[in-house]
Amino acid sequence: MKKLFLTLLALSLAACAGPGSDPVGGNRNNNTGKMSGNSNSMNANSNMNAGGDGNPMVGGAAMFKTKDIIDNAVNSKDHTTLVAAVKAAGLVDTLKGAGPFTVFAPVNAAFEKLPAGTVDGLLKPESKAALTTILTYHVVPGKQDAATIAKAIEDGKGKATFKTVAGGTLTASMEGASVVLTDEKGGKSKVTTADVIQSNGVIHVIDSVLMPK
């Protein structure tokens, strides 16, 4: 009789608690769910910046350290205008060279900020010289990674000047945690993704087109 009573009591308690409930296990599962959610969130953020092999993601494509600037750039959906411009200017072979080069690469939206018709005009054969000057103004000789640029800014007490392949200069400074480039016309462009390492240099993604004098 006592055994039957205990069995009924156990069944009654289980029914009150609800199926699958466990005061300790339930909390543990909830906490695990929260931890898993945070972990997934962190992984998602990581995947925005790096591919499965640790390669940074730009324009939805992994940028491989073993590939050169051109071979990586052609895979970025955010740099189709830049790639078209590089081809029109005949700079493909140059940027596939040994380098090393530092390229400040404007995204498509950066070109869209220019006055209407500017890009179409620059892509015409008769504008090749002007286009080449603008594009090479975005290239600095050597490998200027984020640490090098930051140190130059610090050493320059807030500003650092870099000479471009076009012959003009770019001035780098900090705005909060971001590196900002000022061109010779006073325009500013922020580095949105830094240190995309290439086999022949480094790319820093920027949000505006830089213009020489």
DSSP E strands in 48-159: the ranges are: 57-58, 61-62, 101-106, 139-141
Q: Domain check: are 84 and 154 in the same one?
A: yes
Alpha-carbon torsion angle 76, 81, 82, 83, nearest 10? 70
User: Structural domain tally of the chain?
Assistant: 2
Its domain, for residue 178, covers 60-206
Whether 141 and 40 map to the same domain: the answer is no
Q: Directed axis angle between helix 80-88 and helix 128-136, to 10°?
A: 120
The answer to whether residue 211 sits within a structural domain is: no
Which tokens belong to 34? 């929260």
Given a contact cutoff of 8 angstroms between Cβ atoms, the answer to whether 160 and 152 are in contact is yes
Quick check: is 213 in a domain?
no
Whether the pTM exceeds 0.75: the reply is no
Per-residue pLDDT tens, the chain, 213 aa: give them: 334 333 333 433 333 334 333 333 333 334 333 333 333 322 223 233 434 445 778 888 888 788 889 988 888 988 999 999 999 999 999 999 988 999 999 999 999 999 999 999 999 999 999 999 999 999 999 999 999 999 999 999 999 999 999 999 999 999 998 999 999 999 999 999 999 999 999 999 999 999 999
Q: Check whether residue 14 and residue 42 sit in a common domain.
A: yes
Q: How far apart are CA 96 and CA 78, in angstroms?
A: 19
* 79/130 same-domain check: yes
Q: Judge whether 212 lies within some domain.
A: no
99 and 37 belong to one structural domain: no
User: Measured between alpha carbons, how far is 134 from 211 in angstroms, rounded to an integer?
Assistant: 6
